[in-house]
Chains A and B, each alone.
Chain A
Amino acid sequence: GENVEQHPSTLSVQEGDSAVIKCTYSDSASNYFPWYKQELGKRPQLIIDIRSNVGEKKDQRIAVTLNKTAKHFSLHITETQPEDSAVYFCAASSKTSYDKVIFGPGTSLSVIP
Protein backbone atom coordinates (compact mmCIF):
# COMPACT_ATOMS: atom_id res chain seq x y z
CA GLY A 1 0.00 0.00 0.00
CA GLU A 2 0.91 3.66 0.00
CA ASN A 3 3.70 4.61 2.37
CA VAL A 4 5.70 7.67 3.39
CA GLU A 5 8.97 7.27 5.24
CA GLN A 6 10.61 10.09 7.14
CA HIS A 7 14.13 10.51 8.56
CA PRO A 8 15.47 11.24 11.05
CA SER A 9 12.91 10.57 13.77
CA THR A 10 14.68 13.00 16.10
CA LEU A 11 17.03 15.86 15.30
CA SER A 12 18.92 18.25 17.57
CA VAL A 13 20.68 21.31 16.20
CA GLN A 14 22.32 24.37 17.66
CA GLU A 15 20.51 27.64 17.23
CA GLY A 16 21.56 29.23 13.96
CA ASP A 17 22.43 25.95 12.28
CA SER A 18 20.44 24.35 9.47
CA ALA A 19 18.11 21.38 9.79
CA VAL A 20 17.18 18.93 7.04
CA ILE A 21 14.38 16.37 7.16
CA LYS A 22 13.97 13.83 4.36
CA CYS A 23 10.95 11.87 3.18
CA THR A 24 10.37 9.19 0.59
CA TYR A 25 7.06 8.07 -0.83
CA SER A 26 5.95 4.93 -2.60
CA ASP A 27 3.09 6.03 -4.86
CA SER A 28 4.51 7.43 -8.10
CA ALA A 29 1.16 9.14 -8.75
CA SER A 30 1.62 11.43 -5.74
CA ASN A 31 1.55 15.04 -6.81
CA TYR A 32 1.10 17.15 -3.68
CA PHE A 33 3.59 17.24 -0.80
CA PRO A 34 2.76 19.34 2.27
CA TRP A 35 4.78 19.79 5.44
CA TYR A 36 3.06 20.32 8.77
CA LYS A 37 4.51 21.59 12.03
CA GLN A 38 3.04 20.51 15.34
CA GLU A 39 4.17 22.33 18.45
CA LEU A 40 3.77 20.59 21.78
CA GLY A 41 0.10 20.35 22.74
CA LYS A 42 -1.10 22.11 19.61
CA ARG A 43 -2.67 21.23 16.30
CA PRO A 44 -0.62 20.54 13.14
CA GLN A 45 -0.28 23.55 10.86
CA LEU A 46 0.90 23.73 7.27
CA ILE A 47 4.25 25.49 6.91
CA ILE A 48 5.01 24.87 3.25
CA ASP A 49 3.86 22.66 0.40
CA ILE A 50 5.04 21.78 -3.09
CA ARG A 51 3.35 20.33 -6.12
CA SER A 52 4.88 17.92 -8.59
CA ASN A 53 5.32 20.50 -11.35
CA VAL A 54 8.11 22.29 -9.45
CA GLY A 55 11.37 21.11 -7.97
CA GLU A 56 11.89 23.64 -5.21
CA LYS A 57 9.97 26.19 -3.21
CA LYS A 58 11.19 28.69 -0.63
CA ASP A 59 9.48 30.76 2.02
CA GLN A 60 11.91 32.85 4.06
CA ARG A 61 13.96 30.39 6.16
CA ILE A 62 12.09 27.33 4.95
CA ALA A 63 12.55 25.50 1.67
CA VAL A 64 11.32 22.23 0.23
CA THR A 65 12.90 20.27 -2.62
CA LEU A 66 11.29 17.51 -4.63
CA ASN A 67 12.88 14.77 -6.72
CA LYS A 68 10.07 12.93 -8.47
CA THR A 69 12.39 10.46 -10.16
CA ALA A 70 13.77 9.29 -6.85
CA LYS A 71 10.43 9.79 -5.10
CA HIS A 72 11.82 11.84 -2.27
CA PHE A 73 11.41 15.33 -0.92
CA SER A 74 13.14 17.29 1.80
CA LEU A 75 12.49 20.16 4.19
CA HIS A 76 15.32 22.61 4.83
CA ILE A 77 15.24 25.10 7.69
CA THR A 78 18.05 27.63 7.81
CA GLU A 79 19.15 29.83 10.73
CA THR A 80 17.13 27.73 13.15
CA GLN A 81 15.57 29.40 16.17
CA PRO A 82 14.25 27.90 19.44
CA GLU A 83 10.68 28.45 18.23
CA ASP A 84 11.38 26.02 15.38
CA SER A 85 11.39 23.23 17.98
CA ALA A 86 8.41 21.02 17.15
CA VAL A 87 7.40 17.80 15.42
CA TYR A 88 7.43 18.05 11.64
CA PHE A 89 5.31 15.79 9.45
CA CYS A 90 5.76 15.32 5.74
CA ALA A 91 2.89 14.00 3.63
CA ALA A 92 2.10 12.88 0.11
CA SER A 93 -1.20 13.01 -1.71
CA SER A 94 -2.48 11.93 -5.09
CA LYS A 95 -5.73 11.99 -6.97
CA THR A 96 -5.82 8.71 -8.78
CA SER A 97 -8.14 5.93 -7.76
CA TYR A 98 -8.09 7.18 -4.20
CA ASP A 99 -7.97 10.59 -2.63
CA LYS A 100 -6.15 10.78 0.65
CA VAL A 101 -3.01 12.17 2.12
CA ILE A 102 -0.47 9.84 3.71
CA PHE A 103 1.58 11.29 6.54
CA GLY A 104 5.11 10.35 7.49
CA PRO A 105 5.80 9.30 11.11
CA GLY A 106 7.20 12.69 12.08
CA THR A 107 10.54 14.23 13.08
CA SER A 108 11.01 15.77 16.49
CA LEU A 109 13.27 18.80 16.04
CA SER A 110 14.98 20.41 19.01
CA VAL A 111 16.83 23.68 18.57
CA ILE A 112 19.30 24.23 21.38
CA PRO A 113 19.83 27.89 22.33
Chain B
Amino acid sequence: DSGVTQTPKHLITATGQRVTLRCSPRSGDLSVYWYQQSLDQGLQFLIQYYNGEERAKGNILERFSAQQFPDLHSELNLSSLELGDSALYFCASSVWDSNNEQFFGPGTRLTVL
Protein backbone atom coordinates (compact mmCIF):
# COMPACT_ATOMS: atom_id res chain seq x y z
CA ASP B 1 0.00 0.00 0.00
CA SER B 2 1.54 3.29 -1.17
CA GLY B 3 -0.60 5.53 1.02
CA VAL B 4 -2.24 7.12 -2.02
CA THR B 5 -5.95 6.46 -2.35
CA GLN B 6 -8.14 6.78 -5.40
CA THR B 7 -11.90 6.54 -5.78
CA PRO B 8 -13.81 5.05 -7.39
CA LYS B 9 -11.94 1.87 -8.29
CA HIS B 10 -14.11 1.24 -11.33
CA LEU B 11 -16.37 3.54 -13.31
CA ILE B 12 -18.61 2.64 -16.21
CA THR B 13 -20.36 5.41 -18.08
CA ALA B 14 -21.69 6.38 -21.49
CA THR B 15 -20.30 8.60 -24.21
CA GLY B 16 -21.00 12.27 -23.69
CA GLN B 17 -21.11 11.98 -19.92
CA ARG B 18 -18.95 13.67 -17.29
CA VAL B 19 -17.13 11.95 -14.44
CA THR B 20 -14.93 12.98 -11.52
CA LEU B 21 -12.01 10.94 -10.25
CA ARG B 22 -10.70 11.58 -6.77
CA CYS B 23 -7.23 11.21 -5.31
CA SER B 24 -5.88 11.60 -1.80
CA PRO B 25 -2.08 11.86 -1.64
CA ARG B 26 0.17 10.40 1.02
CA SER B 27 0.21 12.39 4.23
CA GLY B 28 2.73 15.20 3.86
CA ASP B 29 3.08 14.99 0.07
CA LEU B 30 2.57 18.32 -1.67
CA SER B 31 2.61 17.26 -5.32
CA VAL B 32 -0.09 15.32 -7.10
CA TYR B 33 0.22 13.93 -10.61
CA TRP B 34 -2.38 12.44 -12.93
CA TYR B 35 -1.59 9.83 -15.59
CA GLN B 36 -3.62 8.01 -18.22
CA GLN B 37 -2.72 4.43 -19.13
CA SER B 38 -4.61 2.90 -22.03
CA LEU B 39 -4.58 -0.84 -22.68
CA ASP B 40 -1.02 -2.07 -23.19
CA GLN B 41 0.19 1.51 -23.31
CA GLY B 42 2.61 3.54 -21.29
CA LEU B 43 2.00 6.23 -18.73
CA GLN B 44 0.78 9.43 -20.34
CA PHE B 45 1.36 12.39 -18.05
CA LEU B 46 -1.69 14.63 -17.82
CA ILE B 47 -1.13 17.28 -15.19
CA GLN B 48 0.70 18.08 -11.95
CA TYR B 49 -0.30 20.18 -8.95
CA TYR B 50 1.96 21.44 -6.22
CA ASN B 51 0.46 22.71 -2.97
CA GLY B 52 -2.76 23.72 -4.66
CA GLU B 53 -1.32 25.26 -7.80
CA GLU B 54 -0.93 23.83 -11.27
CA ARG B 55 2.76 23.12 -11.85
CA ALA B 56 3.03 21.31 -15.16
CA LYS B 57 0.80 20.15 -17.99
CA GLY B 58 1.21 17.21 -20.29
CA ASN B 59 -1.01 16.00 -23.10
CA ILE B 60 -4.22 16.79 -21.30
CA LEU B 61 -7.28 17.29 -23.49
CA GLU B 62 -9.34 20.46 -23.17
CA ARG B 63 -12.28 18.26 -22.13
CA PHE B 64 -10.28 17.27 -19.05
CA SER B 65 -9.59 19.48 -16.07
CA ALA B 66 -8.21 19.04 -12.60
CA GLN B 67 -7.72 20.85 -9.34
CA GLN B 68 -6.01 20.40 -6.00
CA PHE B 69 -7.86 21.51 -2.91
CA PRO B 70 -6.53 23.14 0.29
CA ASP B 71 -6.44 19.74 2.00
CA LEU B 72 -4.24 18.60 -0.94
CA HIS B 73 -6.63 16.03 -2.34
CA SER B 74 -7.14 16.30 -6.07
CA GLU B 75 -9.92 15.69 -8.56
CA LEU B 76 -9.71 14.96 -12.27
CA ASN B 77 -12.80 15.91 -14.25
CA LEU B 78 -13.43 14.26 -17.59
CA SER B 79 -16.28 15.61 -19.71
CA SER B 80 -17.90 14.87 -23.07
CA LEU B 81 -16.50 11.39 -22.73
CA GLU B 82 -15.54 9.41 -25.81
CA LEU B 83 -14.88 5.71 -26.27
CA GLY B 84 -11.17 6.44 -26.53
CA ASP B 85 -11.13 7.86 -23.02
CA SER B 86 -11.50 4.35 -21.63
CA ALA B 87 -8.32 3.76 -19.67
CA LEU B 88 -6.73 3.32 -16.27
CA TYR B 89 -6.19 6.67 -14.59
CA PHE B 90 -3.45 6.82 -12.00
CA CYS B 91 -2.83 9.46 -9.43
CA ALA B 92 0.60 9.74 -7.83
CA SER B 93 2.08 11.95 -5.16
CA SER B 94 5.53 13.04 -4.10
CA VAL B 95 6.94 14.97 -1.19
CA TRP B 96 8.06 17.95 -3.23
CA ASP B 97 8.49 18.15 -6.97
CA SER B 98 9.04 15.72 -9.83
CA ASN B 99 12.67 15.17 -8.79
CA ASN B 100 11.46 12.82 -6.08
CA GLU B 101 9.95 9.35 -5.96
CA GLN B 102 6.32 9.24 -6.98
CA PHE B 103 3.95 6.98 -5.07
CA PHE B 104 1.11 5.72 -7.22
CA GLY B 105 -2.43 5.04 -6.20
CA PRO B 106 -4.26 1.86 -7.24
CA GLY B 107 -5.87 3.61 -10.21
CA THR B 108 -9.41 4.15 -11.43
CA ARG B 109 -10.54 1.97 -14.32
CA LEU B 110 -12.81 4.05 -16.57
CA THR B 111 -14.93 2.31 -19.18
CA VAL B 112 -16.88 4.44 -21.63
CA LEU B 113 -19.61 2.56 -23.48
Contact = CB atoms under 8 A, between A and B. Distances in A.
Interface of A: 31-32, 34, 36, 43-46, 49, 51, 89, 93-95, 98-106
Nearest to B43: A103
Given A43-B106, A100-B48, A100-B56, 11 more contacts: A43-B105, A43-B107, A44-B43, A44-B104, A46-B101, A89-B43, A93-B98, A95-B97, A99-B50, A100-B55, A101-B45
Contacts, number: 56
A46 B43 CA distance: 14
Interface string B49-65: 01000011010000000
B89 to A, nearest CB: 12
A36 B33 CA distance: 15
Nearest to A92: B98
A34 B45 CA distance: 15
Nearest to B58: A100
A106 B44 CA distance: 11
Interface residues of B, number: 22
A102 B42 contact: no
A102 B46 CA distance: 11
B2 interface: yes
A46 B42 contact: no
B90 A98 contact: no
Contact of B98 (A44, A51, A100): A100
B97 A105 contact: no
Contact of A101 (B41, B98, B105): B98
A43 B2 contact: yes
A98 B42 CA distance: 21
Nearest to A49: B101
Nearest to B101: A46
B90 A103 contact: no
B78 to A, nearest CB: 20
Q: Which 3 A-B pairs have the closest CB atoms?
A: A100-B56, A43-B104, A32-B99
A110 to B, nearest CB: 14
B74 to A, nearest CB: 15
A22 B50 CA distance: 31
